Chains A and B, each alone.
Chain A
C-alpha cells in the first residue's frame, strides 16, 4: 500500500458526501492524511493470532484453513435451490458463489477492553424519524469509524421522515453488555458516497462516523487495504460485532475463509446477525489487522460486504485524516 501525499477524491458513485454543510465539513477536514496501517492504541494486550489467519479466542475451534479442512467441517454441500443472494440485485453471480452456511460458530468476546476487540464499537443509531437501530463500527483512525452506508444514511425505507442522514449515533467502543470501558461518544457527523445516498446501490454501501474526540488513539484502529482477488480468496475473513440475537451489547466473533469476490463485493459464510451491519471484514497480515470489506448484508446462502477497492480506500484515507 503506497502512501499518498496528495489527497485523491474519488468521483462517480464513489463521490464522497457529508452530513454536514459544505462549510462545516471543510472546517473539520484536516489538511493531511495519516497512515493506513493498524495501530493498537494504549496498552493493547493484543493476543497473538492463530497461524491459520483467525483470531486466537478461547473456545473458538473452527477450522478456517485449507479448503480440504473446510470440506471436513461442512460435509454436506447445500444443494438448496435458493438463488445466490447477489443474483437478485446484481444479476448472475460470480463464479463459485454458492457456499454453505454451516453451524453457528460465533463465540462471545469477553475481553473487549483489549485490542482488536476494543477497536469495534456498538452503535445505537437514531434515525431522522426518531426510530432506533443497532449496528457496528470499527476505528480506522483516531476519530473515524467505518460502517455500512445504511447505518449513517437510510435509503428507500418507505417510512415517512426516515430516509436521509440519521440524526445521531452513540458510539460505544469495546462495549460488553452494560459495561462501557471507553464510554460513549455521540456523533452527528457522517460520511457516505453518492452511489449509496443517491442510488441506494448495494455496491456502494459504506460510510463513516466522525467523532469529536480522538478516542481511537486509546482503542487503536484497523489498517485497511486493497488486495487482489487471488489474495482475498486465499485469506481468512474475521468479523466481530454486536448482533441483535445475543444479549444486548455483547460482542461476538467468527472467522472463515473468504468464499468469493467480485469487483465490488466480498462474499463469505462468516456467521452474522442483524446488528452487525458495518462490522469490519478483516484479515491478519504479520499480526496486523487489515480491513478488506465492510459487512453489510445477510442472506440465505452467503453474507457479504462492500469490498475495499481503490475508490473506497481513497475515501477511507480522506475520512480518517
Chain B
C-alpha cells in the first residue's frame, strides 16, 4: 500500500506561553503502525513528526514539570499539519 507521509509540525508552550524545550512528543494512536520513538522539542519548543499515511493521529506531550497533554490532528494527501500544544500544571 502506497503511503503519503505528512509532516506534523508544532510547538509546545507552557501555561504562560513560554516555549518548553526538551518536552517528549510522540504518537499514541494513528491509522497505521507507528514507530515507537519520541521527539524532543528544541529550545523554541518546536517539533516535527512524520505521519506515514492519511488519517487521524493522537499526539501526546510529556514533561517532568507539567501535566501530560494529548491532542488529535488529521492529515491527508501528504499535506503538512500544524499543532500547538499548551501545557498546564
Contact = CB atoms under 8 A, between A and B. Distances in A.
A230 B30 CA distance: 31
Contacts of B1: 88-89
Contact of B5 (A156, A243, A247, A276): A156
Interface in B27-42: 27-40, 42
B52 A244 contact: no
A158 B5 contact: yes
A198 interface: no
B34 A298 contact: yes
A299 B31 CA distance: 8
Contacts of B68: 245
Interface residues on A, range: 35 or more
A7 to B, nearest CB: 30
Contacts of A247: 64
A298 B32 CA distance: 9
Contacts of B74: none
A159 B64 CA distance: 28
B37 A275 contact: yes
Given A156-B5, A245-B68, A88 B35 contact: no
Say whether chain A's binding surface is mostly helix, strand, loop, or mixed: loop
Given A85-B33, A275-B24, A298-B33, A157 B39 contact: no
Interface string B1-43: 1010111000000000000001011111111111111111010
Given A131-B42, A245-B62, A295-B36, A274 B50 contact: no
Given A89-B1, A132-B39, A244-B38, A297 B50 contact: no
Contacts of A295: 36
A272 B33 CA distance: 13
Interface residues of B, number: 34
Interface in A134-162: 134-135, 148, 150-151, 156-159
Contacts of A235: none
Contact of A273 (B26, B48, B78): B26
Nearest to A123: B37
A273 B28 contact: yes
Contact of B39 (A133, A150, A245, A272): A133
B55 to A, nearest CB: 9
Given A245-B24, A248-B24, A132 B29 contact: no
Q: Which 8 A-B pairs have the closest CB atoms?
A: A274-B26, A244-B38, A244-B24, A274-B38, A297-B33, A88-B32, A277-B36, A275-B38
Interface of A: 85-86, 88-89, 124-125, 130-135, 148, 150-151, 156-159, 202, 205, 243-248, 272-277, 295-300, 303-304
Interface of B: 1, 3, 5-7, 22, 24-40, 42, 47-48, 50, 52-53, 60, 62, 64, 68, 78
9 contacts: A88-B1, A125-B37, A131-B39, A132-B42, A133-B39, A156-B50, A273-B38, A277-B35, A298-B36
